[in-house]
Amino acid sequence: MKIKSVKVWPEHLPLTKPYSIAYKTIVDTEIIFLELTLENGITGIGAANPFAEVVGETPAITLANLQHDFVQQFVGRDIRHFNKLIDESCIHFPHAPGTIAAIDIALHDTFCKTLGISVVEFYGHKTYPLPTSVTIGIKDIAAMMEEAKANYAAGFKVVKIKTGLNVEEDIERVVKLNEYFGNRLKVRVDANQGYDLLQLQHFIKKTSHLSLELIEQPLPVGKEKELAKLDEPHRKLLTADESLIDATSALRLAFSPQPYGIFNIKLMKCGGIRGAREIALIAANAGIDLFWGCNDESMVSISAALQVAYSCSNTKYLDLDGSFDLSKDWVTGGFILKDGFMYCSNEPGLGLKRL
């Protein structure tokens, strides 16, 4: 069960639907792939595209790290020692969660294929199919409504709208969605650090009757203590994204008074499956729900996020639409999307096949 070869390559992929968030417009993505092949022919794959604005690592750094001699020396190592390989990688590449995520995902995929079971079966399937939200970027109300209608017609029952540029316009967006869809469509908002506390309080007051599912990262990183000024029921709706990177930040945010009732776990922030489970355990012990998010990602890392999400009993929300708008991908399978719900394929490993 030894690793025979390691292959690394980048892919620059335009998005079929560019979108805007509070601080930038995104038109494409660069994904770094890592493929491991065992002596018996079993192949596993990992992928990463970290957000430099959040974790300080670019895809170019990820690529250079994965091409390093350290990763090439995986050749000849026993896949059964995959946790040791992850440990060594974390030491060699500190503060490089994209690099660790690609390594972690590829090792999990390869190891579970040798066992003939899926990753979620390896950890234990604890949560069953949930709907994913689909993201609508910042745009005028008419364009937002058209996209929401198209998503609803395609079977999606949850949307996440990007906000954070103008609080009054954001309130109007939410109101218009509620007027048209009522309770047929659940709405989440993501302010991407775009509000101050007064703006957030105003937004909450004006939308409290609309049954928003959650409000993601409303204040800038570093302003978490200000959220203690909100009532606990309101804080329960708040979701930590940029404020939550890894287990260390999760532990800090778990202390009372908890600024967030929900943690947004992204494999590209925390370093893959194992890092995600560390955060999930802290959240479970603190009574915090889990929301699983993503960047614009390959089905490789989306499938990994889905499987680890379903291995955690406190998973309540999915936002794993990151592969839907890629112009192309290098794998197929991994998950099944039906009426907006995401199902694991239950094939060995991550259930992926190379195209």
Whether 108 and 132 share a structural domain: no
pLDDT band at 23 (very low <50, low <70, confident <90, very high): low
* β-pair partners for 341: 131, 338
State the total domains in the chain. Answer: 2
Q: Rounded distance, CA 158 to CA 319, Å?
A: 9
Say if residue 71 is in the same domain as residue 128.
Answer: no
- When pLDDT is averaged across residues 323-337 and rounded to a whole number, the result is 94
The token pair that represents 199 in the structure block: 């703006």
% of the chain residues with pLDDT over 90: 91
| CATH classification at residue 63 | 3.30.390.10
Over 90: is that where the pLDDT of 355 sits?
Answer: no
3-class DSSP state of 247: helix
Query: 179 and 224 in one domain?
Result: yes
Task: Give the start-end residues of each E strand in 101-197.
Answer: 130-131, 134-136, 158-162, 186-190
Mean pLDDT computed over every residue of the chain: 96
Compute the average pLDDT of residues 111-136: 97
- What pLDDT does residue 351 have? 97
pTM for this structure? 0.96
Determine the pLDDT at residue 219. 98
Using a 10 angstrom Cβ sphere, with 0-12 exposed, 13-18 middle and 19 or more buried, the burial of residue 179 is: exposed
Q: What CATH number is associated with residue 179?
A: 3.20.20.120
Domain ends where: 116, 139, 168? 116
Do 43 and 81 fall within a single domain?
yes
Q: What DSSP element (H or E) covers 201?
A: helix 197-207
Q: Name the CA dihedral angle for 139, 305, 118, 275, rounded to a multiple of 10 degrees.
A: 170
Q: What pLDDT score does 341 carry?
A: 98
Among residues 61, 90, 116, which one ends one of the domains? 116
Among the residue ranges 20-29, 94-103, 271-280, 329-338, the one predicted with the least confidence is: 20-29
pLDDT > 70: percent of the chain? 99
